[in-house]
Each structure stands twice: as C-alpha cells, then as structure tokens.
C-alpha cells in the first residue's frame, strides 16, 4: 500500500536530517501543511527547538498580494514559527529525499478570522458564536475559502492536495484549555449544537420551509433534557430526528448538505483549473454528511463524483471506509488515516494489522499522522509495519 506521512514545514526547516528520516520510514509521499490552524506542537528531534507555537491560522508561504489586495477576508501570514516560504523550503528538501509532495490545506477552521471578522462565524441556537468555525453558507466566506484552497493547494512542485475541513465546522474543537466535555453530547447533541443560525443560514432554512426562530427554539427545547443528563444523545441520525422531529431535522440537513456539496464542487473545480495535469485532489472526509469537523461530513457517492478520492479517519476503527468502498468507483483513492503517535491515542505497534483491515475494506493507501510529532519509538514501529505491508 502506498503510504504518506503528514508533516509540518517546521519539522523539516532547520533540520538537515528530517527529510531523509521521513523518507526512511518507507513512505513514498509527504503530505506537507501549506495552510494550517493555530497549534502548539512538539518537535522531538529538531536540533533547534522542541515546541513550536503557531499562534494563529496562517498560510506557510508568502501570500499572493495580487490575489488578495483590497479584500476584507484574506489569509494571514505565519509568524516566526514558519517565516518566509517555509512550505517551499521544506517541500524542496522532501522532494530531494525522493518523496512526492502533496499539500495539506486546512480551510473552514480559523480562530483569528472569527476574532477579527466575527460576523463570519457559525452562530448556534443560543446565539453563541463559534469563532473557530467560519460559516460556509456565507457568500464572502465561500469566496475566501475557494481562493485560499487554490492558492494553498497548487504550490510549486506539488503533485496533489488534501483539503481538510472543506465543509461545516461545529462545536467540536480542540481549543486552548477546552472545557466543553462536561456533558456527553454524543453525535446527535453535537449536531444540534453545531447548527448555524447566522443570517445566511436563517434565510437558507426559510427556503426549506422552516421559520429560523422557531427552529432555534426547537433546538434549545430538545437540548434541555440532554443538559440534565436525562436523555442520551447518541444514536446517529435517528437520534437527531427523535430530538428535533423528522421535519425540522430533515430541513436543516437538506440546507446544510446542499451548502457543503456546492462548496466542495466549486472548490475542487477551481483547484483543478489552476493545477497542472494529473494533479490529485483528495478530501478529508467522514461518510455521514451530518457530521462536522476537520473530516467534513459528505455523501460518499457525491464526493467520489467530485474529487479524486478521500482520506478517511480510521484510528477509532476502519468502519468509516466501507460506505466509500461500496461506491465501487474505479480509480478513486481511498486512503485510511491512522494516528501513529502513541501519546495522542495512536497505536503504531498495530499499524500492520490495521493496514490489513483497511485493505480488506477497500483502502489502497495509508496516511500516517504524524511524522514530526511521533517519538523515535513510534517511528521505529512505523518502519517495521511499512516493511511488512509494502
């Protein structure tokens, strides 16, 4: 199976051994961040630092001023964690080590955008703004995201891209000192708390026969027993219909699915138009379209008719691969994404078995999160596993 390791530019820049070390894992590709959200990351082998703090979402290359001049919504350049063309420097080193380089682009996840332009953010049924989550229904936000995807995806020498969070983002977010786990919301509660009621979404619900004010009240009423711990909110879409009622639930999903699909179609088309022939476009995706987050909820049949394939989260189990594999789409890339950092819940020691299970469900590629964050022990386990599955 072809394998690719996720990498940050700061893992490579300033470490002359990093690119060779990553190639030595047995991967054929590096998926290198070109646009990324704020983070605090370990660099356990870097000769100059051990912790990198990226204080805001940024592009990791020089912004194209001609594309963004005069626009209110525009990408932020990185600070000293990725100065200049950090992406380009890292990409050149990785390519010299014999690796194909694909860009890794984070889109609808940007806390600085929400802080400086709060009207762009998702607003829940209680009126709380999610500053990390741009509302993908808003025309200005969509235009910004499409152009950001084009610029960040089609970097010099890149052979493809992986687009993360190209869809709805919601409540779930690993925020600084996060304290939102006091009530177990489950996937149904997460959906209700992720529904957006900004002006664009209110108009969208109206187009599907919903009064937005009444719908927000229904959401709040449905959540009351959840807050008290009296009603479980797991159970997938049937649980959402039970909480909201099938009519309200169906209308909200119809609006949100349509918004996400059209954004995905527009973005992939724009990236392909700007890219050279043979450029691969993949989405980080979840097979349940009502799910929110970095792995955007999609309809498997639809997304495989739009993109060249998907990268599917499999650390918690390989079952999410099956709905994509059932589409039987020849040539579509189905990549199983495994966390291989044991300190972050990964299991590098079981990677060979996990890869075999993924292959049995139709996966033809592996994604390994994350070559820069993992300990040497974790990387040694990855080397062994890839020798056995190559």
Per-residue pLDDT at 246:
96
CATH superfamily of 2-179+256-389: Glycosidases (3.20.20.80)
Check pLDDT > 90 for residue 41.
Answer: yes
Check pLDDT > 90 for residue 307.
Answer: yes
Lowest mean pLDDT, pick from 67-76, 103-112, 132-141, 166-175: 166-175
Per-residue pLDDT at 330:
94
Check pLDDT > 90 for residue 172.
Answer: no
CB 167 within 8 A of CB 264: yes
Per-residue pLDDT at 44:
97
Evaluate if pTM is beyond 0.75: yes
**Token match 């020798």: residue?**
387
* pLDDT tens digits along 250-298: 999 999 999 999 999 999 999 999 999 999 999 999 999 999 999 999 9
* pLDDT tens digits along 113-156: 999 999 999 999 999 999 999 999 999 999 999 999 999 999 99
Check pLDDT > 80 for residue 348.
Answer: yes
d(CA 186, CA 236): 9
Average pLDDT over residues 18-28: 98
Q: Domain ranges for the chain, please list them.
A: 2-179+256-389
Chain centroid to Cα 373, Å, comes to: 18
| Residue 160, CB-side half-sphere exposure with 13 Å CA sphere | 18
Q: What is the share, in percent, of the chain residues with pLDDT greater than 90? A: 92
* pLDDT tens digits along 200-233: 999 999 999 999 999 999 999 999 988 888 776 7
Chain centroid to Cα 181, Å, comes to: 21
């Amino acid at each position: 199976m072809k394998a690719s390791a996720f990498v940050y530019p700061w893992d490579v820049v300033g470490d002359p051994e990093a690119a060779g070390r990553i190639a030595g894992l047995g991967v054929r590709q590096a998926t290198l961040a070109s646009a990324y959200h704020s983070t605090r990351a370990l660099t356990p082998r870097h000769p100059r630092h051990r912790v990198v703090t990226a204080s805001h979402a940024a592009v990791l290359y020089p912004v194209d001023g001609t594309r963004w001049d005069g626009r209110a919504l525009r990408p932020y350049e990185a600070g000293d964690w990725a100065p200049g063309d950090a992406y380009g420097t890292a990409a050149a080193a990785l390519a010299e080590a014999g690796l194909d380089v694909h860009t890794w682009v984070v889109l609808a996840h940007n806390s600085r955008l929400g802080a400086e332009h709060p009207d762009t953010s998702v607003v829940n049924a209680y009126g709380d703004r999610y500053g990390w989550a741009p509302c993908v229904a808003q025309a200005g936000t969509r235009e910004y995201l499409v152009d950001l995807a084009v610029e960040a995806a089609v970097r010099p020498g890149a052979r493809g891209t992986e687009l993360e969070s190209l869809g709805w983002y919601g409540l779930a977010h690993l925020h600084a000192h996060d304290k939102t786990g006091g009530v177990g919301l489950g996937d149904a509660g997460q959906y209700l708390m992720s529904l957006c009621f900004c002006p664009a979404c209110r108009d969208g619900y109206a187009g599907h026969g919903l009064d937005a004010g009444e719908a927000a009240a229904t959401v709040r009423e449905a959540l009351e027993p959840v807050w008290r711990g009296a009603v479980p909110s797991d159970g997938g879409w049937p649980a959402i219909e039970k909480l909201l009622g099938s009519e309200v639930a169906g209308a909200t999903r119809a609006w949100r699915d349509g918004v996400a699909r059209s954004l995905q179609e527009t973005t992939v088309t724009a990236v392909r138009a700007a890219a050279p022939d043979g450029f691969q476009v993949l989405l980080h995706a979840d097979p349940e379209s009502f799910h929110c987050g970095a792995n955007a909820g999609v309809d498997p049949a639809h997304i495989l008719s739009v993109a060249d394939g998907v990268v599917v989260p499999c650390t918690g189990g390989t079952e999410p691969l099956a709905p994509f594999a059932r589409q039987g789409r020849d040539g579509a890339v189905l990549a199983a994404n495994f966390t291989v950092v044991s300190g972050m819940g990964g299991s590098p020691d079981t990677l060979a078995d996990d890869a075999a299970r993924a292959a049995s469900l139709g996966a033809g590629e592996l994604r390994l999160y994350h070559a820069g964050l993992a300990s040497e022990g974790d990387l040694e386990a990855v080397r062994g596993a890839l020798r056995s599955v190559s």
